[in-house]
Structure 1
């Protein structure tokens, strides 16, 4: 494997231990260092990166803090099992049958995990500008916010902020501080606004203070930020959701069929 040259290092202003952790992290997430396998020894890493023992240990500590590897000083460091989860956004758009739980919960349980949704806040707010534009709100307009966290195996997986037009949400359970049985796709259909089309805009961002705390992030790693707009009949926007996940623990899988 090629190690970056000194000239390349001059363009990368991260400390050496951060650069080492970045290379190893990429190999873990790509599967070159598979779950259950050992990382190269400290001696091998020192030689590969031309680094001191202390620098290599600082790099390994970053990966331990991120829960990507486990091990102790003087012992082999091992890649943790099943750390990166694949999330399929399209699954959350499907309606649940009457009496069934929200589809996301059911899918998480099928993978042998315990999953739950915690409702944090329900309030009328002035949304961020990109959300307001997606909902076609007038300047200074407000929307119904439902803010919640999705947790898998007692680990926060996602911070979710869903916004709805007040004309749609007022007087419905969307404005109540309680869980919606079957999820919002089912409820929107029952209210006469069946989801017909969804558009996702995904980007990598530096987490805000609120996101860092809610997701219990270990450092300065980016988050996956998704802005989803759900349209009903006549291209009416009925829901805009901002979803934030830890970038080093989750990937998004989309499937497309050529036309």
Structure 2
């Protein structure tokens, strides 16, 4: 502890623990020493140690479970790439999410949490031009990499486009939702995305293992067919500390 430093003592403790995490002294998933142990090590009271842990928690380096301690976050870093030109779309039959994970050297997994028909949120209903009582198909998924929670995705499809029940099945078949829409004459030919940075709600924070003060990206992706009709809207929730968003496109002639 440097008593001459202009940084407060709890900040110095946070600096020291941060450096230890980055060196690998405390690997992902491990617990930090208990607050009483850290207080003895640094010669400080537990209030100061608690403030140091709060700094690391706000940075997304640890998560705190009451009664169990502070755990070092398991954070895979993922680059989310979006290319505009069709030739760059994957042809493997895998989803874009699965392709992104594999390119990052991670093993993807998707868990289908809910399939149902619902009255969508007002923003989604307005996007589709639906009335107050009209319903959409909803597909709500939890997505993982190396079994670490990484993304929440919720797709909405108007019932007039969803057609038969195969889109409500856990497995929607080769290349997924968009191929099934194409078979119905509603192939997406272009996409738009709107990105908002906001605080997570409690359920989102709990699943993504982040504090409610850490920001998330909310990415609203809309699939549009050749008749310029929105045929699917997907709301993706991503913990900002885990993702880097990358976009590229070709210059129009």
| Fold equivalence (TM over 0.5) | yes
Partner residue of 1:238? 231
Q: Note the 1:173-184 alignment, pairs <5 A.
A: 173-184=166-177
Cα offset, 1:114, TM superposition:
0.8
The question of 1:190 aligning with 2:183 is answered: yes
State whether residues 221 and 233 of structure 2, in contact with CA within 8 Å, keep that contact through their aligned partners in structure 1: yes
| 1:61-140 → structure 2 map (5 Å cutoff) | 62-63=55-56, 68=61, 83-90=76-83, 97=91, 100-140=93-133
Does residue 215 of structure 2 align to residue 222 of structure 1? Answer: yes
Q: Which position in structure 1 is the counterpart of 2:200?
A: 207
Which residues of structure 2 form unaligned runs of 5+? 1-8, 25-44, 63-71
Q: Which residue of 2 aligns with 1:166?
A: 159
Deviation of residue 170 (structure 1)? 3.1
Count of residues paired in the alignment: 211
Distance 1:80 1:201, change over 3 A: same
What SS is found at the alignment partner of 2:181? helix
**TM-score in terms of structure 2 length:** 0.69
Give the structure 1 partner of residue 65 of structure 2: none
The C-alpha deviation readout for 1:219-241, integer Å capped at 9, x for no partner, is 42111111111100110110011
The answer (yes or no) to whether the contact 1:121–1:177 under 8 Å persists in 2 is no
Alpha-carbon distance, 1:107 to partner: 3.2
What are the superposed Cα offsets for residues 196-228 of structure 1, whole Å, 9 maximum, x if unpaired?
111111011111122122222234211111111
Q: Where do 4+ consecutive residues of structure 1 move more than 6 Å? A: 79-82
Q: Please tell me the root mean square deviation across aligned C-alpha atoms, in Å.
A: 3.7
C-alpha distance in structure 2 between counterparts of 1:175 and 1:80, whole Å: 34
* Residues 18-61 of structure 1: per-residue CA shift (max 9 Å, x gap): xx69xx8xxx9xxxx9x9569xxxxxxxxxxxxx9964773355
* Contact 1:122 1:144 (C-alpha < 8 Å) held by counterparts: yes
Q: Partners of 1:191 and 1:172 in 2: how far apart?
A: 12
Q: Distance in 1 between matches of 2:183 and 2:177?
A: 10
**How far has the Cα of 1:251 moved from its partner?**
2.2
Is the partner of 1:241 in helix, strand or coil?
Answer: strand
How far did residue 183 of structure 1 move?
2.5
Q: For 2:145 and 2:137, how far apart are their aligned partners in 1?
A: 26
